[in-house]
Structure 1
Amino acid sequence: MEIFLWMIFSFIIFQRLGELVLASRNRKWMLKRGAREWGQGHYFLFILLHTAFFMAIIIEFVWTSFQQQPLFYPALVIFLTLQVLRMACIKTLGKRWNTRILVMPEEKPIRKGIYRYIKHPNYVIVFFEMMVIPVLFHAYLTALVFPFLHLLLLTIRIPVEEKALEDRA
Protein backbone atom coordinates (compact mmCIF):
# COMPACT_ATOMS: atom_id res chain seq x y z
CA MET A 1 0.00 0.00 0.00
CA GLU A 2 2.82 2.42 0.78
CA ILE A 3 4.21 1.98 -2.76
CA PHE A 4 0.77 2.86 -4.13
CA LEU A 5 0.70 5.99 -1.97
CA TRP A 6 4.14 7.08 -3.18
CA MET A 7 2.88 6.56 -6.74
CA ILE A 8 -0.10 8.82 -6.02
CA PHE A 9 2.17 11.40 -4.42
CA SER A 10 4.55 11.29 -7.40
CA PHE A 11 1.62 11.69 -9.78
CA ILE A 12 0.43 14.78 -7.91
CA ILE A 13 3.91 16.34 -7.86
CA PHE A 14 4.47 15.70 -11.58
CA GLN A 15 0.98 17.01 -12.33
CA ARG A 16 1.67 20.23 -10.42
CA LEU A 17 5.07 20.70 -12.07
CA GLY A 18 3.45 20.13 -15.46
CA GLU A 19 0.85 22.75 -14.63
CA LEU A 20 3.60 25.24 -13.78
CA VAL A 21 5.21 24.56 -17.17
CA LEU A 22 1.84 25.00 -18.89
CA ALA A 23 1.17 28.19 -16.92
CA SER A 24 4.56 29.59 -17.93
CA ARG A 25 3.88 28.80 -21.59
CA ASN A 26 0.41 30.33 -21.38
CA ARG A 27 1.80 33.40 -19.61
CA LYS A 28 4.29 34.04 -22.42
CA TRP A 29 1.54 33.57 -25.00
CA MET A 30 -0.78 36.00 -23.20
CA LEU A 31 1.91 38.65 -22.58
CA LYS A 32 2.78 38.61 -26.30
CA ARG A 33 -0.87 39.41 -26.99
CA GLY A 34 -0.96 42.36 -24.62
CA ALA A 35 -2.09 40.75 -21.38
CA ARG A 36 -1.42 42.62 -18.19
CA GLU A 37 -0.20 40.79 -15.10
CA TRP A 38 -1.55 41.59 -11.65
CA GLY A 39 -0.64 40.46 -8.14
CA GLN A 40 3.00 39.58 -8.75
CA GLY A 41 3.80 40.67 -5.19
CA HIS A 42 1.78 37.90 -3.55
CA TYR A 43 2.43 35.07 -6.05
CA PHE A 44 5.40 33.77 -4.04
CA LEU A 45 3.02 33.14 -1.13
CA PHE A 46 1.18 30.55 -3.23
CA ILE A 47 4.48 28.88 -4.12
CA LEU A 48 5.41 28.82 -0.42
CA LEU A 49 2.00 27.49 0.60
CA HIS A 50 1.97 24.67 -1.92
CA THR A 51 5.59 23.71 -1.23
CA ALA A 52 4.93 23.65 2.52
CA PHE A 53 1.72 21.66 1.90
CA PHE A 54 3.54 18.84 0.13
CA MET A 55 6.41 18.91 2.62
CA ALA A 56 3.93 18.69 5.51
CA ILE A 57 2.27 15.66 3.93
CA ILE A 58 5.63 13.89 3.59
CA ILE A 59 6.67 14.76 7.14
CA GLU A 60 3.39 13.58 8.63
CA PHE A 61 3.36 10.42 6.51
CA VAL A 62 6.95 9.47 7.36
CA TRP A 63 6.74 10.34 11.07
CA THR A 64 3.56 8.45 11.76
CA SER A 65 2.94 4.76 11.34
CA PHE A 66 0.67 4.16 8.39
CA GLN A 67 -2.52 2.23 8.89
CA GLN A 68 -5.04 2.20 6.12
CA GLN A 69 -8.12 4.01 7.32
CA PRO A 70 -11.73 3.57 6.16
CA LEU A 71 -11.53 7.15 4.85
CA PHE A 72 -8.91 6.20 2.25
CA TYR A 73 -11.21 4.96 -0.53
CA PRO A 74 -13.82 7.73 -0.24
CA ALA A 75 -10.94 10.26 -0.17
CA LEU A 76 -9.44 8.63 -3.28
CA VAL A 77 -12.75 8.89 -5.13
CA ILE A 78 -13.11 12.55 -4.12
CA PHE A 79 -9.50 13.22 -5.15
CA LEU A 80 -10.07 11.67 -8.59
CA THR A 81 -13.28 13.67 -9.00
CA LEU A 82 -11.40 16.85 -8.12
CA GLN A 83 -8.78 16.00 -10.75
CA VAL A 84 -11.49 15.74 -13.41
CA LEU A 85 -12.82 19.14 -12.32
CA ARG A 86 -9.27 20.59 -12.32
CA MET A 87 -8.75 19.38 -15.90
CA ALA A 88 -12.14 20.84 -16.84
CA CYS A 89 -10.97 24.25 -15.56
CA ILE A 90 -7.74 24.06 -17.54
CA LYS A 91 -9.52 22.87 -20.69
CA THR A 92 -12.24 25.52 -20.45
CA LEU A 93 -9.75 28.39 -20.12
CA GLY A 94 -7.35 26.94 -22.69
CA LYS A 95 -4.37 29.25 -23.26
CA ARG A 96 -5.87 31.70 -20.75
CA TRP A 97 -5.48 29.25 -17.85
CA ASN A 98 -2.75 30.29 -15.47
CA THR A 99 -1.50 30.16 -11.90
CA ARG A 100 -0.96 33.91 -12.11
CA ILE A 101 -3.43 36.74 -12.66
CA LEU A 102 -3.24 37.74 -16.31
CA VAL A 103 -5.93 39.72 -18.06
CA MET A 104 -6.23 40.05 -21.80
CA PRO A 105 -7.27 43.58 -22.78
CA GLU A 106 -10.83 43.97 -23.96
CA GLU A 107 -11.63 40.26 -23.61
CA LYS A 108 -14.53 39.27 -21.43
CA PRO A 109 -14.11 36.65 -18.71
CA ILE A 110 -14.94 33.11 -19.82
CA ARG A 111 -18.38 32.08 -18.61
CA LYS A 112 -18.70 28.59 -20.07
CA GLY A 113 -18.15 25.11 -18.68
CA ILE A 114 -17.68 25.04 -14.93
CA TYR A 115 -17.14 28.82 -14.98
CA ARG A 116 -20.82 29.22 -15.86
CA TYR A 117 -21.69 27.99 -12.37
CA ILE A 118 -18.75 29.00 -10.18
CA LYS A 119 -16.78 32.22 -10.53
CA HIS A 120 -13.45 30.85 -9.21
CA PRO A 121 -13.77 27.05 -9.49
CA ASN A 122 -10.05 26.32 -9.33
CA TYR A 123 -9.80 27.97 -5.90
CA VAL A 124 -12.69 25.82 -4.65
CA ILE A 125 -11.05 22.69 -6.07
CA VAL A 126 -7.70 23.50 -4.45
CA PHE A 127 -9.43 24.11 -1.11
CA PHE A 128 -10.96 20.63 -1.20
CA GLU A 129 -7.73 19.08 -2.50
CA MET A 130 -5.92 20.50 0.51
CA MET A 131 -8.37 18.60 2.70
CA VAL A 132 -8.54 15.36 0.74
CA ILE A 133 -4.96 14.74 -0.43
CA PRO A 134 -3.55 14.69 3.13
CA VAL A 135 -6.27 12.24 4.20
CA LEU A 136 -4.91 9.76 1.62
CA PHE A 137 -1.59 9.90 3.49
CA HIS A 138 -3.10 10.00 7.00
CA ALA A 139 -1.73 13.54 7.35
CA TYR A 140 -4.69 14.83 9.32
CA LEU A 141 -2.99 17.89 10.79
CA THR A 142 -2.06 19.00 7.27
CA ALA A 143 -5.68 18.42 6.22
CA LEU A 144 -6.86 20.74 8.99
CA VAL A 145 -4.32 23.55 8.63
CA PHE A 146 -3.66 24.07 4.92
CA PRO A 147 -7.18 24.58 3.55
CA PHE A 148 -7.52 27.51 5.93
CA LEU A 149 -4.13 28.94 4.97
CA HIS A 150 -5.33 28.69 1.36
CA LEU A 151 -8.49 30.63 2.28
CA LEU A 152 -6.36 33.24 4.01
CA LEU A 153 -4.32 33.75 0.83
CA LEU A 154 -7.52 33.99 -1.20
CA THR A 155 -8.51 37.04 0.86
CA ILE A 156 -5.58 38.72 -0.89
CA ARG A 157 -5.81 37.02 -4.28
CA ILE A 158 -9.50 37.25 -5.16
CA PRO A 159 -9.82 41.03 -4.60
CA VAL A 160 -6.74 41.58 -6.81
CA GLU A 161 -8.21 39.30 -9.47
CA GLU A 162 -11.59 41.05 -9.32
CA LYS A 163 -9.90 44.47 -9.60
CA ALA A 164 -7.88 43.21 -12.58
CA LEU A 165 -11.05 42.06 -14.33
CA GLU A 166 -12.79 45.37 -13.56
CA ASP A 167 -9.90 47.51 -14.81
CA ARG A 168 -9.42 45.55 -18.04
CA ALA A 169 -9.04 48.06 -20.85
Structure 2
Amino acid sequence: MTWYLILLFAVGVERVAELVLARRNLEWSRARGGVEVGAAHYPVMVALHLALLVGCVVEVAVMQRPFIPALGWTMLALVVAAQGLRWWCITTLGRQWNTRVVVIPGARRIDGGPYRWIPHPNYVAVAVEGIALPLVHSAWVTALAFTILNAALLSTRVSVENSALARLS
Protein backbone atom coordinates (compact mmCIF):
# COMPACT_ATOMS: atom_id res chain seq x y z
CA MET A 1 0.00 0.00 0.00
CA THR A 2 2.96 2.32 0.46
CA TRP A 3 3.37 2.88 -3.27
CA TYR A 4 -0.37 3.65 -3.53
CA LEU A 5 -0.03 6.29 -0.81
CA ILE A 6 2.89 7.75 -2.77
CA LEU A 7 0.69 7.84 -5.89
CA LEU A 8 -2.12 9.59 -3.98
CA PHE A 9 0.38 12.04 -2.50
CA ALA A 10 1.72 12.78 -6.00
CA VAL A 11 -1.81 13.41 -7.28
CA GLY A 12 -2.40 15.68 -4.27
CA VAL A 13 0.79 17.63 -5.03
CA GLU A 14 -0.34 17.92 -8.65
CA ARG A 15 -3.69 19.36 -7.45
CA VAL A 16 -1.87 21.94 -5.32
CA ALA A 17 0.22 22.89 -8.37
CA GLU A 18 -3.02 23.32 -10.33
CA LEU A 19 -4.42 25.59 -7.61
CA VAL A 20 -1.26 27.73 -7.64
CA LEU A 21 -1.47 28.02 -11.42
CA ALA A 22 -5.20 28.73 -11.24
CA ARG A 23 -4.60 31.53 -8.71
CA ARG A 24 -1.97 33.09 -10.99
CA ASN A 25 -4.29 32.79 -14.00
CA LEU A 26 -7.18 34.25 -11.99
CA GLU A 27 -5.10 37.33 -11.16
CA TRP A 28 -4.10 37.63 -14.83
CA SER A 29 -7.74 37.31 -15.90
CA ARG A 30 -9.00 39.83 -13.37
CA ALA A 31 -6.35 42.32 -14.52
CA ARG A 32 -8.00 42.05 -17.96
CA GLY A 33 -11.53 42.54 -16.63
CA GLY A 34 -12.25 38.84 -16.06
CA VAL A 35 -15.34 38.09 -14.01
CA GLU A 36 -15.98 34.83 -12.18
CA VAL A 37 -19.36 33.20 -12.75
CA GLY A 38 -20.97 30.28 -10.94
CA ALA A 39 -18.78 30.58 -7.87
CA ALA A 40 -21.36 28.97 -5.58
CA HIS A 41 -20.53 25.42 -6.67
CA TYR A 42 -16.74 25.87 -6.44
CA PRO A 43 -16.35 24.95 -2.72
CA VAL A 44 -18.38 21.78 -3.36
CA MET A 45 -16.06 20.87 -6.23
CA VAL A 46 -12.96 21.39 -4.07
CA ALA A 47 -14.47 19.32 -1.25
CA LEU A 48 -15.41 16.51 -3.65
CA HIS A 49 -11.90 16.32 -5.11
CA LEU A 50 -10.36 16.30 -1.64
CA ALA A 51 -12.84 13.60 -0.59
CA LEU A 52 -11.71 11.48 -3.54
CA LEU A 53 -8.14 11.39 -2.23
CA VAL A 54 -9.21 10.85 1.39
CA GLY A 55 -11.69 8.17 0.33
CA CYS A 56 -8.96 6.29 -1.52
CA VAL A 57 -6.77 6.20 1.58
CA VAL A 58 -9.54 5.36 4.03
CA GLU A 59 -11.22 2.68 1.97
CA VAL A 60 -8.00 0.87 1.14
CA ALA A 61 -6.73 1.05 4.74
CA VAL A 62 -9.95 0.33 6.62
CA MET A 63 -11.50 -2.20 4.26
CA GLN A 64 -8.11 -3.72 3.38
CA ARG A 65 -8.70 -3.52 -0.33
CA PRO A 66 -6.19 -5.62 -2.27
CA PHE A 67 -4.09 -4.63 -5.22
CA ILE A 68 -5.30 -6.78 -8.10
CA PRO A 69 -2.60 -6.55 -10.77
CA ALA A 70 -4.79 -6.82 -13.88
CA LEU A 71 -7.15 -4.15 -12.55
CA GLY A 72 -4.56 -2.03 -10.80
CA TRP A 73 -2.10 -1.67 -13.67
CA THR A 74 -4.90 -0.96 -16.14
CA MET A 75 -6.36 1.72 -13.87
CA LEU A 76 -2.91 3.21 -13.28
CA ALA A 77 -2.50 3.56 -17.05
CA LEU A 78 -5.86 5.37 -17.16
CA VAL A 79 -4.78 7.68 -14.31
CA VAL A 80 -1.63 8.58 -16.24
CA ALA A 81 -3.67 9.11 -19.43
CA ALA A 82 -6.13 11.33 -17.52
CA GLN A 83 -3.23 13.43 -16.21
CA GLY A 84 -1.92 13.75 -19.75
CA LEU A 85 -5.31 14.92 -21.01
CA ARG A 86 -5.68 17.34 -18.08
CA TRP A 87 -2.30 18.96 -18.78
CA TRP A 88 -3.04 19.06 -22.51
CA CYS A 89 -6.16 21.06 -21.59
CA ILE A 90 -4.18 23.34 -19.29
CA THR A 91 -1.47 24.06 -21.86
CA THR A 92 -4.02 24.54 -24.66
CA LEU A 93 -5.99 27.11 -22.66
CA GLY A 94 -2.83 28.81 -21.40
CA ARG A 95 -3.59 31.73 -19.12
CA GLN A 96 -7.32 31.30 -19.73
CA TRP A 97 -7.27 27.95 -17.89
CA ASN A 98 -8.64 28.03 -14.37
CA THR A 99 -10.29 25.85 -11.78
CA ARG A 100 -12.92 28.57 -11.60
CA VAL A 101 -15.16 29.77 -14.42
CA VAL A 102 -13.85 33.20 -15.43
CA VAL A 103 -15.02 35.23 -18.41
CA ILE A 104 -12.60 37.77 -19.88
CA PRO A 105 -14.42 40.35 -22.00
CA GLY A 106 -13.34 40.12 -25.63
CA ALA A 107 -11.45 36.85 -25.17
CA ARG A 108 -11.85 34.32 -27.91
CA ARG A 109 -13.07 30.81 -27.32
CA ILE A 110 -10.25 28.27 -27.54
CA ASP A 111 -11.05 25.53 -30.05
CA GLY A 112 -7.66 23.88 -30.51
CA GLY A 113 -5.98 20.95 -28.80
CA PRO A 114 -8.44 18.52 -27.23
CA TYR A 115 -11.20 21.15 -27.51
CA ARG A 116 -11.19 20.46 -31.24
CA TRP A 117 -12.94 17.13 -30.58
CA ILE A 118 -14.51 17.33 -27.11
CA PRO A 119 -16.39 20.33 -25.67
CA HIS A 120 -15.17 19.81 -22.08
CA PRO A 121 -12.14 17.48 -22.23
CA ASN A 122 -10.93 18.35 -18.73
CA TYR A 123 -14.11 16.85 -17.31
CA VAL A 124 -13.45 13.66 -19.26
CA ALA A 125 -10.07 13.56 -17.50
CA VAL A 126 -11.72 14.18 -14.12
CA ALA A 127 -14.31 11.44 -14.71
CA VAL A 128 -11.72 8.91 -15.82
CA GLU A 129 -9.45 9.74 -12.91
CA GLY A 130 -12.35 9.58 -10.44
CA ILE A 131 -13.02 6.01 -11.45
CA ALA A 132 -9.47 4.86 -12.12
CA LEU A 133 -7.55 6.33 -9.16
CA PRO A 134 -9.56 4.46 -6.52
CA LEU A 135 -9.66 1.28 -8.59
CA VAL A 136 -5.85 1.18 -8.79
CA HIS A 137 -6.17 -0.39 -5.34
CA SER A 138 -9.73 -1.81 -5.60
CA ALA A 139 -11.45 1.06 -3.75
CA TRP A 140 -14.69 0.53 -5.64
CA VAL A 141 -16.94 2.29 -3.09
CA THR A 142 -14.91 5.49 -3.45
CA ALA A 143 -14.94 5.16 -7.24
CA LEU A 144 -18.70 4.72 -7.29
CA ALA A 145 -19.45 7.49 -4.79
CA PHE A 146 -17.16 9.97 -6.55
CA THR A 147 -18.60 9.12 -9.95
CA ILE A 148 -22.20 9.66 -8.82
CA LEU A 149 -21.45 12.89 -6.93
CA ASN A 150 -19.20 14.18 -9.70
CA ALA A 151 -21.92 13.57 -12.32
CA ALA A 152 -24.33 15.66 -10.25
CA LEU A 153 -21.75 18.41 -9.79
CA LEU A 154 -20.77 18.41 -13.46
CA SER A 155 -24.38 18.93 -14.52
CA THR A 156 -24.18 22.30 -12.75
CA ARG A 157 -20.57 23.05 -13.72
CA VAL A 158 -21.01 22.33 -17.43
CA SER A 159 -24.17 24.44 -17.52
CA VAL A 160 -22.33 27.36 -15.90
CA GLU A 161 -19.38 26.91 -18.23
CA ASN A 162 -21.54 26.71 -21.35
CA SER A 163 -23.28 29.95 -20.39
CA ALA A 164 -19.89 31.59 -19.84
CA LEU A 165 -18.50 30.25 -23.13
CA ALA A 166 -21.52 31.63 -24.99
CA ARG A 167 -20.25 35.12 -24.07
CA LEU A 168 -16.92 34.56 -25.85
CA SER A 169 -16.20 35.27 -29.50
TM-score higher than 0.5: yes
Partner in structure 2 of residue 100 of structure 1: 100
Show the counterpart of 2:140: 140
Once the two structures are superposed, the pairs formed by residues 4-153 of structure 1 within 5 Å of their partners are 4-69=3-68, 70-153=70-153
CA drift of 1:11 comes to 0.5
RMSD: 1.3
CA distance in 1, matches of 2:168, 2:35: 9
Percent same amino acid at aligned positions?
A: 36
How far, CA to CA, are the matches of 1:34 and 1:22 in structure 2? 18
Displacement of 1:143: 0.9
Normalized against structure 2, the TM-score is what?
Answer: 0.94
TM-score by length of 1: 0.94
Moved over 3 A (4+): none
Partner of 1:156: 156
Structure 1 residue 47: deviation in Å? 1.1
Are 1:5 and 1:137, in contact at CA under 8 Å, matched by a contact in 2?
yes
1:99-147: CA deviations, max 9, x gaps?
A: 0001111122100010111110001110111000000122110111211
Aligned residue for 1:5, secondary structure, equals: helix
Bigger CA drift: 129-138 or 66-75? 66-75
Q: Where do 5+ consecutive residues of structure 1 fail to align?
A: none
SS state at 1:115 partner: helix
The answer as to whether partners of 1:82 and 1:125 remain within 8 angstroms in 2 is yes
